[in-house]
Amino acid sequence: MALARRLLLAASRSAWLARQLRQRAFLRRAVRRFLPGEEPEAALAAAAGLSQVGLGAVLTQLGEQVALEAEAQAVRDHYFELLDRVREGALGAELSIKLTQLGLDTDRAACARDVAALARHAARAGSFLWIDMEESRYVDPTLALLREVLAAGPRVGVCLQAYLRRTPADLEALWPLGPAIRLVKGAYNEPAAVAWPRKRDVDRAYAELAARLLEHTPQGVRAVFGTHDLHLIARIRAQAAALALAPGAYEIHMLYGIRANEQRALAREGCRVRVLISYGSAWFPWYMRRLAERPANLWFVLRNLV
Ligand SMILES: Cc1cc2nc3c(=O)[nH]c(=O)nc-3n(C[C@H](O)[C@H](O)[C@H](O)COP(=O)(O)OP(=O)(O)OC[C@H]3O[C@@H](n4cnc5c(N)ncnc54)[C@H](O)[C@@H]3O)c2cc1C
C-alpha cells in the first residue's frame, strides 16, 4: 500500500499522464464519485442539495501552480463571480483557495492583494475564505501571506497539516493572530525530514493537535477538523463534551463523496458539518491524491473500465 501511495502521488505530479488520461471515459466516470461536475453550476447545485440535509459547503475550483499572471487573474475573477452567485442563492457556501492558483509564484504582491479582496467580498456575501495548504515548500510563503492579509483586516482561515513536524510550532505562532484553523492530515508526498512517514505517527500528531485546538481556540474563532477518520472524530467529540464546549465551538469538514452517510449522521446529531466540493477541469493531480489516500479506490477506477 505504501508503494501504491507513492506511485499515485508521483502520478499526481505528471503533466504527461494528466494529458494522456484526463479525457479517458473510464477515468471521467470514476472521478464523478468525488466531483459533482466540472462546471461551477454543478458545485452550486450540490451545495444547495447538501443544505437541505443540514450540511454546509465549501467550494473550490481545482488547479494549482499557475505559470502565467493572466491565469491567476482569471481564477480571481471567477471566484468574485462565484461569491456573487453564493450571495444571490443565499447559500452560505464558503470558498477554499490555493495560493499557487492565485499567482503566489508569479506575482506575490498581487496574490496577497487578491486574497484580501476576496476575503472582504466573501464577508459581504455571507461567505468565508479558506486558504489550502499545499506542498511543504509553500508553508512559509503561505503563512507569511496569511499574516499580511490578517494584518490588513479581513478574517480568513488556513489549513494546517498534521503530518508536518513543524505544525505544532506553527499552531503556537498563529494563536495570537486568531485565524480560523482547519486541521488535516496532509495529502502530499513529503520527505521524512519534514513529515511523519508512518500513518500511526500522523494520526497521533493529529490527535494531539486536535486536543490543543479544542482546549485553546478562543471563543468566536473557528476550529475545524478536516478528516474522515471516524475514530479521531469520536475522540474529538468526546473531548469537546468533556470540556463542556458548545456544539458550535468546532466543526467537521469532509470531502464530497467520502463518508456521505456519516456526514448526514453527524449533522443529525448536532455537529456542524461542511462538505468541500471541488469542480473544474484540472482534476487529474487532485484525483490521484484522493486515490493515494485510499489505494483501494483503484478498484473503483478499474470497475469503470468494464
Ligand atoms: C475539508 C478538507 C480539506 C482538506 N484540505 C487539505 C489541504 O488544504 N491540504 C492538504 O494537504 N490536504 C487537505 N485535505 C486532505 C487531507 O490532508 C487528507 O489527505 C484526507 O482528508 C484523508 O485523510 P483523513 O483525515 O480522512 O484520514 P485517513 O486516515 O486517510 O482516512 C480515514 C478513513 O476515511 C476514508 N477515506 C479517507 N480518504 C479517502 C478517499 N480518498 N476515498 C475514500 N475513502 C477515504 C477511509 O475510510 C479511511 O479509512 C483536506 C481534507 C478535507 C476533508
- H or E element at residue 19: helix 15-21
Residue 76: CB atoms within 10 Å: 20
DSSP-derived secondary structure letter, 176:
G
- Decide which of 66 and 194 is more confident: 194
Alpha-carbon gap, residue 44 to 49, rounded angstroms: 9
Alpha-carbon gap, residue 110 to 68, rounded angstroms: 12
DSSP-derived secondary structure letter, 195:
B
- φ, ψ for residue 220, nearest 5 deg: 90, -10
Decide if pLDDT at 1 tops 70: no
Alpha-carbon gap, residue 247 to 266, rounded angstroms: 11
Interval between CA 185 and ligand 1 midpoint (Å): 7
For ligand 1, atom 34, which residue shows the shortest CA distance? 228
Q: Is 6 a catalytic residue?
A: no
Interval between CA 276 and ligand 1 midpoint (Å): 11
Q: Report whether 185 contacts 227 (CB < 8 A).
A: yes
DSSP-derived secondary structure letter, 238:
H
Q: Which atom of ligand 1 is nearest to the CA of 188?
A: 11
For the chain, percent of residues with pLDDT exceeding 70:
99
Q: Report whether 109 contacts 81 (CB < 8 A).
A: no
What pLDDT does 306 receive? 59
Look up cell 501511495; give the residue. 5
Interval between CA 183 and ligand 1 midpoint (Å): 11
Of the given ranges (5-19, 62-76, 104-118, 133-147), which has the lowest mean pLDDT? 5-19
pTM score above 0.85: yes
Average per-residue pLDDT for the chain: 92
